[in-house]
Amino acid sequence: MVDWLIVGAGFAGSVLAERIATRQNQSVLVIDRRSHIGGNAYDELDHYGILYHKYGPHIFHTNSQDIFDYLSQFTKWRPYEHRVLAAVRDKLVPIPINRTTLNRLYGLSLANDAETAAFLATRAEPVAVIETSEDVVVNAVGRELYELFFQGYTRKQWGLDPSQLDKSVTARVPTRVNEDDRYFTDTFQFMPAEGYTKMFEKMLASDNISVQLATEFFDIRDKIPFKNLIFTGCIDEYFNYCIGKLPYRSLNFEHKHIETEFFQPTGTVNYPDPGTLYTRISEYKYLTGQSHASTTVTYEYPSSDGDPYYPIPRDENLALFRQYEALAAQEANVHFVGRLASYRYYNMDQVVGQALAKYRRLFPA
């Protein structure tokens, strides 16, 4: 019998496995339905020797010293500040919208923050009560920029118009009046020097941890004796969808190898145009710093079918999740952790933070 069965070898499951095994000296079995560890952050060398992310680009960033210090036990880091361009009106311009975006798009010569703020104020269309993702953007920059950068992209990504989505979706992308073209402004912006998979291997290296891959929890739950369970999968799946299925958006990835040193001018280029089926193209050599004569890129196509990636933030979906959350609270010695179990869109650092907080609650000092 193992002390802990952990379902899912992504960030949530691996962090808790490492803490319990190394700090509590208890036995842990980690299982995953996929054939690898690392969850969606899994990376590997492709046929051409280029390190790529199988499930699309994962860029680490955090403002938490504690989270950064924790992960630093398992990896060295490569400094990396992610920059994204958007393909609009036959131009490539920075996103989030900043002064450079506006100058390039409109042929302006805005020279400072005050001039840029004044220009945006002339475009903005104040919304009395901000409730939706459309409201957020229109209130900040007006309808033209909203339609140009956000409406088509959001419709593709979520399968819904921004007016149907919670304000949190577009609120994640700020508007800037300066020339800061970094996608993130967090204190710590790094990539694991040898990749995410190597980091996960070190996290799961304890003799107290066993890993069993290509394994379905529901096939073995009655065959492997365990004292405690940590479940990081979809909470509705755990309960066999007894109240209904929580909706998710999925992604399909098309990985392409191209015989050129670099394919595009930055790590990611977004394609907001609704006529373009994919939402973005990412090129990994910018992220990893790898030197190679050729390159590998990934096209992302949003989908309503496939692996669950993004919980859809709408009030009715949250209400359904709350019902499952109430059922989860009644489960003895079962703990639900992670993006899918919490039905929240968490960044990687937030999942690590949630898992560390859960560990502290399980084993108070």
- pLDDT score of 267 more than 90: yes
pTM of the predicted protein model: 0.95
Q: What is the pLDDT of residue 172?
A: 75
pLDDT confidence band for 58 (50 / 70 / 90): very high
Q: Can you give the pLDDT at residue 167?
A: 87
pLDDT of res. 301:
98
**Averaged pLDDT for residues 156-185:** 91
- What average pLDDT score do residues 121-133 get? 93
3-state secondary structure labels for all residues of the chain: CEEEEEECCCHHHHHHHHHHHHHCCCCEEEECCCCCCCHHHCEEECCCCCEEECCCCCCEEECCHHHHHHHCCCCCEEECCCEEEEEECCEEEEECCCHHHHHHHHCCCCCCHHHHHHHHHHHCCCCCCCCEHHHHHHHHHCHHHHHHHHHHHHHHHHCCCHHHCECHHHHCCCCCCCCCCECCCCCEEEEECCCHHHHHHHHCCCCCEEEECCCCHHHHCCCCCEEEEEECCCHHHHCCCCCCCCCEEEEEEEEEEECCCCCCCCCEEECCCCCCCCCEEEEHHHHHCCCCCCEEEEEEEEECCCCCCEECCCHHHHHHHHHHHHHHCCCCCEEECCHHHHCCCCCHHHHHHHHHHHHHHHCCC
At residue 170, the pLDDT reads: 80
pLDDT band at 137 (very low <50, low <70, confident <90, very high): very high
Q: Categorize the per-residue pLDDT at 171 as very low, low, confident or very high, splitting at 50, 70 and 90.
A: confident
> Over the stretch 88-116, which tens digit does the pLDDT of each residue have?
999 999 999 999 999 999 999 999 999 99
pLDDT at res. 142: 94
pLDDT of residue 360: 98
Specify the CATH class of 2-37+204-246+312-362 in words: alpha beta
Q: Is the pLDDT of residue 317 over 80?
A: yes
**Is a pLDDT exceeding 80 seen at residue 304?**
yes
User: Mean pLDDT, to the nearest integer, of 142-159?
Assistant: 94
Chain mean pLDDT for the chain: 96
Give pLDDT, residue 169.
Answer: 84
- At residue 166, the pLDDT reads 87
pLDDT at 174: 86
